Amino acid sequence: MRIGTITNLAYVATVLLTMLAGLSFILSAQSAGRERLAVEQHLALGELIDDLDIGAENRTDDIRLYVMRGAEDELAAFYVDEKDERGFEAAAARAKTLGATADEIAILNRIVTEAEALDGIERAAVADYRGGRQEQARQAVFGPAHDAAHTTLRDSVGQVQQMISERTGAELTRAKARSDLFDIIAKSMLALTALVFLGVLYFVLKRRITTPIVAMTGIINRLAKQDFDVEVPQVARRDEIGEMTAAIAVFRANGLERERLAEELRRDQRIKDFILQMMHRLQACQTQSEIAGVVTLFMPQAFPGLAGSLYMHDEAHRCLLPRGGWNAPETSPAAFPADQCWALRRGRPHLSDASDHDVVCPHLEHGHRATLCVPLTALGETVGLLHLESTALDLLEEARLYLELIAENLGLAIANLQLRERLTGMAIRDPLSGLLNRRSLDEAVNRIAKTAAAGPHACLMIDIDHFKRFNDEFGHDAGDAVIRHVADMLQAALPEGGQVFRFGGEEFTLLIEGGDETAARHLGETLCARIAAAPLSDHGRFLGTVTVSIGIAAAPGDGPVATLLARADTALLAAKAAGRNRALTVSALAAHGFPTQAAAG
């Protein structure tokens, strides 16, 4: 029940009890008045009867003393008492006004008659005594007739006195009982009112208000200090305290929700900061390994509950290779074809979990984690895959939007890097052979010249023998095939520390950092033998045998790095003049009849 209702009921009950107590006091006062009136009637009637009785006795005594002693003062007293005795009629009338009953009035009237009879005997005795008949007067007042009349009068007075005493006593008893009853009722009402008041004070103020409010005060103070861990008691009350408790519970729930939202906001902001930092660093990456390093560094910071791997295409775009991983992923394979991933097939993120809510990617190894594959695309081309996994599916679903945002920017970064590498490759490589071009050769020679003190270097100038014959007999497509054939064999025989360049036309250059003349001569001879032994065909046409002539120079053995290319070219001219399909070093030019000055120049 609501406190306001209880308070109103208590107020009404208190008012009613107070009114009843007041009414009881009024009735008690009225009963006390009746009791007092009854006492007054009792006393007045008693006094009236006593006066009548005493008056009758005094008159009889006076007349007897007079007839015995003849004293005139006794006679005067007799007449005075007789005057009072004659007040019986007035006494009867007065008794009626005092509330005497009809029976009592009848006895009083009889007393008046009896008093008159006695008065006649006494008057006759006075007359006899005055007439000299003293003995007769004495016989009259002391005789049986006088005694009988006097006794009858006294008996009547005693009877009416007893009746009045009994009646007024009963009325007095009833009035007193009624007064006591109403007094008890009034006091009971007051006591009940006090009990109700005290009960309201204890039950409402202490138990229903004070105790809960004291308990709620501590909770409110803790909530005011943002301590939302405090537990709000569950109460089944439907009053104001219950509503206040429910409101406090709602306030706590709202506070917890605000804390949760604030924590989510802080977490989102932290994730956004990490993502922003990662995006800035991705834009500055110059190689795919740097991109993988940035991703593996920031992903576990932004999403500590997720493990994952970054996959990129191999050079032939036949399969995806892992470039980096974080938080020890369990289900990521070493490599897999692109068609084994549903995300790469559909071009959209694909979620797989152990509950089989969707088809599982074939490339996933056996595991109990939920996985999310996000394709990395840019300009309509797939450049890689972002693979995420977690023991909780909810973590993946919550982070999915951010992961897709990361994948979009990561795809753009990889695509930009690949485009940059492609443009760089176009600038430094020959489009026909795929080898480094003349510009790259000049840069490499300049770099070697700056670091020539670090060790020996060797250069092989290579020229395809009778290349014009292939163009004239088989066409330029065949000539291009010959160039690609020789370039592939040079690339396949390239030693460690070596680089092969297309110098121009049918000429190639091979630089070996850290290689001496002996090793270079051995390599040149090997190349001549392998190329000459390898038959060549183009689109089903046999093109014959291809041979090459090679000139070899070394630095600093036979000259500085600055003239390394010129000296190798001189050796090449000598090899061609010596019959082609051979490799000559600068140091062997004199033995073949070539002047060493030309080599030195």
Q: Per-residue pLDDT for 600 more than 50? A: no
Query: Is the distance from CB of 570 to CB of 586 less than 8 angstroms?
Result: yes
Q: 601 falls in which pLDDT band (50, 70, 90)?
A: very low
In angstroms, what CA-CA distances link 386 with 36, 320, 377, 409, 560? 111, 11, 11, 12, 51
User: What ranges make up the beta strands (E) of 422-580?
Assistant: 457-464, 498-504, 507-513, 535-538, 541-545, 548-555
Q: Are 360 and 351 in contact (CB under 8 A)?
A: no
pLDDT band at 332 (very low <50, low <70, confident <90, very high): confident
**Does residue 525 have a pLDDT over 90?**
yes
Determine the 3-state secondary structure of 569 from DSSP.
helix
Write down all domains in the chain, each with its CATH number in brackets: 3-196 (1.20.120.1730), 271-426 (3.30.450.40), 438-600 (3.30.70.270)
C-alpha separations of 10 from 21, 39, 186, 195, 533 in Å: 16, 42, 19, 11, 121
pTM score above 0.85: no
φ, ψ of residue 321 to 5 degrees: the values are: -115, 140
Structure tokens at 68: 């015995």
pLDDT of residue 597: 47
Q: Which two tokens stand for residue 40?
A: 């007054």
Q: Is 47 a catalytic residue?
A: no
Which residue has better confidence, 315 or 438? Answer: 438
pLDDT in tens, 358-402: 788 888 866 677 889 999 988 788 889 999 988 888 888 888 898
Catalytic one of 171, 506, 507, 517: 506
Distance CA 457, CA 164 (A): 162
* Percent of the chain residues topping a pLDDT of 90: 17
Average pLDDT of the chain is 80
pLDDT tens string 573-583: 999 998 899 99
Of the candidates 516, 457, 442, 506, the residue with the CA atom closest to the CA atom of residue 479? 506
